[in-house]
Structure 1
């Protein structure tokens, strides 16, 4: 069975879903920060965004619409959403400042590993499944925390459940950072710089 390499296509169904997720971000910020708050609408948007994030990967495989842009765009949108959620939740005092800064710092630190691969002519390592699980846990935690701010019947249960997911997801998120740093260190030890021609 032949392996199909990701193409250079831009307007694929998965990529369009990613573009839609980006376009929805200003609406999420508006609902979160402009009084009176619309936490219910923001909650629904986060749930839909999480579902489309899951869906675009499935569709890329099922419809043979994997692309180089999609391989970059999907994790970029995930990081953009995570950063936006962290900042808006921090501004609403829904998460402590030290947690927000540590989550942001984790991704900033990992960006410094990218030159390690580029100097050797390598692509950055693929996202590990544990990392996907950590992102999923975090992206699941925030809607539950937000549901806890509403007057819905599930609010009393949603908030502690959301914070529980947040603690679990954060722990895995930092553990995967250790794994990624370990990969970068191994590359520096065993693979020399590529010599430009």
Structure 2
């Protein structure tokens, strides 16, 4: 199985469309709509139900991208909507778990601060996304976080192995957060390097139409 680009086919020529209502984009929106459901369940201390919702969110993280590549439904909207929805969802989930006392404070801090720095840098240099390729460490980081957060919530569901589940969750979240810091630093360096490269080529980093010449 491919770690990156799952669903990619060699027998078709991909076309990026401007359509909004594609199957992958609808899946992304449905997944994002589950986030407030998760928040409400945690607030109501319905931890088992919240775990199920979060497990669905985590386990389907790859589905929209897979379908887009498998069935040639890649869109300009999906290219920014999917990562944006994923990042916002993970941030909201982390803050919700920290505020509810389920997760340690460093989880939200490690996820939110790097993302805010990256978002601010991208807006300042490019006026939006610099359209960087997702790295392998970024994928691994995401997988660890998406597995660790539901496990941490599951450790609050009454059962005989709560301490063991919590230990497993932390063993996933700690390297996940460290990987997030690493990946964020790498993306930040790539962002600055791309900005300099475009400038040296005489191109405006805010003019996406000219990026193909870089």
Residue 70 of structure 2 is aligned to residue 66 of structure 1: no
Q: Give, in angstroms, the shift of residue 173 of structure 1.
A: 0.6
The whole-number CA distance in structure 1 between the counterparts of 2:109 and 2:15 is 38
Aligned to 2:49: 41
Q: Give, in angstroms, the shift of residue 151 of structure 1.
A: 1.3
The whole-number CA distance in structure 2 between the counterparts of 1:149 and 1:98 is 18
Structure 2: runs of 5+ lacking an equivalent = 1-10, 208-214
Q: Give, in angstroms, the shift of residue 68 of structure 1.
A: 1.0
The whole-number CA distance in structure 2 between the counterparts of 1:142 and 1:113 is 27
The whole-number CA distance in structure 1 between the counterparts of 2:196 and 2:83 is 27
CA deviations 1:73-128 (Å, max 9, x no partner) are 11111111111111111111222324422321110011133146527x99431222
Residue 26 of structure 2 is aligned to residue 16 of structure 1: yes
Residue 89 of structure 2 is aligned to residue 81 of structure 1: yes
Aligned to 1:26: 36
Aligned to 1:186: 193
Matches within 5 A, 1:38-187: 38-115=46-123, 118=126, 123-187=130-194
The 1:101/1:153 distance shift into structure 2, 3 A limit, reads: same
- Which sits farther off after the overlay, 182-191 or 15-24? 182-191
The whole-number CA distance in structure 1 between the counterparts of 2:180 and 2:126 is 24
Q: Give, in angstroms, the shift of residue 30 of structure 1.
A: 0.7
Q: In angstroms, what is the RMSD of aligned CA positions?
A: 2.4
CA contact (8 A) 2:95 2:108 kept: yes
CA contact (8 A) 1:116 1:187 kept: no
TM-score, with normalisation over the residues of structure 1?
0.87
Q: Give, in angstroms, the shift of residue 166 of structure 1.
A: 0.4
Q: Give, in angstroms, the shift of residue 49 of structure 1.
A: 1.1
TM-score, with normalisation over the residues of structure 2?
0.81
- Which sits farther off after the overlay, 13-22 or 153-162? 153-162
CA contact (8 A) 1:17 1:52 kept: no
CA contact (8 A) 1:39 1:149 kept: yes
